Amino acid sequence: MVSAGLSWLFDAMDVGLISFVAAALAVDWDLGKQQLGFLAAIGSVGMAFGAAVAGSMADRYGRRAVLLATLLVFSVASGLSALAASFAVLCLLRFAAGFGLGGELPVASTLVSESVRPEDRGRAVVLLESFWAVGWIAAALIGYFVIPDHGWRAAFVIGALPCLYAIYLRRAVQDAPRFREQQRSRERIGLRERFAKLWAPQYRASTFALWVLWFTVVFSYYGMFLWLPQVMVLKGYSLVKSFEYVLFMTLAQLPGYFSAAWLIEKLGRKRVLTIYLIGTAICAWWFGWATSDATLMTAGACLSFFNLGAWGAMYAYTPELYPTRIRSTGAGMAASFGRIGGVIGPYLVGYLLERGTGITGVFLIFCAAIVVGVVVLLAWGKETRGIDPDAAAEQASTAG
């Protein structure tokens, strides 16, 4: 969990860096709001492709091999971003970095979920996801201490360091025993059959609910958090002050993860997701209306707390819906569909702000999106706490 978690930390640091880099680029390259929205969105386009490709490859070639490959792709692309001489080249490199990032996340969560006991796996995956908060904190620190003095290119150079970590990860991580057993027994099926199984009668409702859940959570998260430093600037704060405030808000992510990790084995996945998503919707509405320093800081911190706690629960929930042979494909396809929301969210914010829509109206859209996700989860999602997906699949096959 810790080995995969450190790679997760580097993922988060890279995603977080782009929000701080975008605020600096707006000044350095005189970029408009739509261009900034496009820069944020192009990374999510890469993540959508990466999640689908890496998720399917991990079911065929192994979680460990794909985890290493995606880590190298995003770290090299991040380092090369420091050399970008134009907006177009930077966007191309951010697509490549997004491909690696999007591929690594569902593969890492699947690997950890398969490597622990059923009674501990929900908590383990949420704790894995908590490394995301540490990565965002690292990004905020780089944004606060490095970018103002050394520029945004230095931040991307730091983002290339994970490629060195891959050397250690190659020895530290192995595929789970059950997956290795299936590999030896040749219990592998093609991509087309794996995708069809996701929509088989026994998984259809769960897959639908999962895809909608991923879309609404990713849409709101990337729309809100990638724009957060710039939103603070639009609310009248200096660039350095906005970085300082966002750093404080980011610290609230850690207790969000830890509380979700504690509750998820006590209340179950659906209840924790529902509680934290409703909290996210309320805080998005609150932040949109906030004007004073105190309310902005408090609303932003609460938004971080609930939204990232929901992310942790969602990552724990996703791989538990499918048996081993299609698990990574199921997680990757859900994440890939969700990344479409990650494309639309940040670009939509830039589009709306460019046309004079206020911050309040923008955050109300994200509030409504989260509510839709909650309704669909409650209506079609199933509880997975304590369930062995492989045993359930075998039982269903026998009954059939």
Q: Where are the alpha helices (DSSP H) in the chain?
A: 2-28, 33-61, 63-81, 87-114, 118-145, 147-150, 152-158, 162-172, 177-184, 191-198, 204-225, 228-234, 239-251, 253-267, 269-289, 293-317, 324-354, 359-380, 389-399
Give the pLDDT score at 188: 62
Let me know if residue 179 belongs to a domain.
no
Q: Into how many domains does the chain fold? A: 1
Q: Domain of 137: which CATH number? A: 1.20.1250.20
Would you state the pLDDT for residue 97?
Answer: 93
* Mean pLDDT of the region 146-164: 87
Res. 274 pLDDT band, cuts 50 70 90: very high
Backbone angles phi, psi at 339, to 5 degrees: -65, -20
397: pLDDT confidence band, cut at 50, 70 and 90? low
Task: Between 250 and 274, name the one with better pLDDT.
Answer: 274
Whether 183 maps to a domain, the answer reads: no
Task: Domain of residue 297: give its range.
Answer: 2-170+191-399
Q: Quote the pLDDT of residue 186.
A: 55
Indicate whether 4 pLDDT > 70: yes
Rg (CA), the chain: 20
| Residue 182 included in any domain | no
Per-residue pLDDT at 187 exceeds 90: no
Task: Give CA separation, 262 vs 114, 266, 307, 321, 378, in Å.
Answer: 20, 7, 16, 21, 21
Distance, in Å, from the CA atom of 383 to the CA atom of 379, rounded to the nearest integer, reads 12
The predicted pLDDT at position 145 comes to 87
Token reading at 136: 């965002």
Q: Is the residue at 175 inside a domain?
A: no
Residue 110 lies in a domain: yes
The answer to whether residue 145 is domain-embedded is yes
Cβ atoms of 133 and 125 within 8 Å: the answer is no
Measured over the CA atoms of residue 164, residue 168, residue 170 and residue 174, the dihedral's sign is negative
Q: What is the tens place of the pLDDT at every residue in 165-182?
A: 877 887 788 888 878 787
**For residue 239, what pLDDT is reported?**
63
Maximum distance among all alpha carbons in the chain?
A: 66
| Cβ neighbours of residue 263 closer than 8 Å, sequence gap 6 or more | 271, 272, 275
pTM over 0.75: yes
Q: Which amino acid is at 12?
A: A
- Is there a domain that residue 90 lies in? yes
Query: pLDDT category, 185, cuts 50, 70, 90?
Result: low
In this predicted structure, what is the pLDDT of residue 199? 94
Greatest mean pLDDT range, 129-143, 178-192, 263-277: 263-277
Interval 283-326: pLDDT, tens: 999 988 888 878 888 998 999 999 989 999 999 999 999 998 89
Q: Model confidence over 73-92: pLDDT tens digits?
A: 989 999 999 999 999 999 99
Q: What percentage of residues in the chain have a pLDDT greater than 70? A: 96
In a domain? residue 176? no
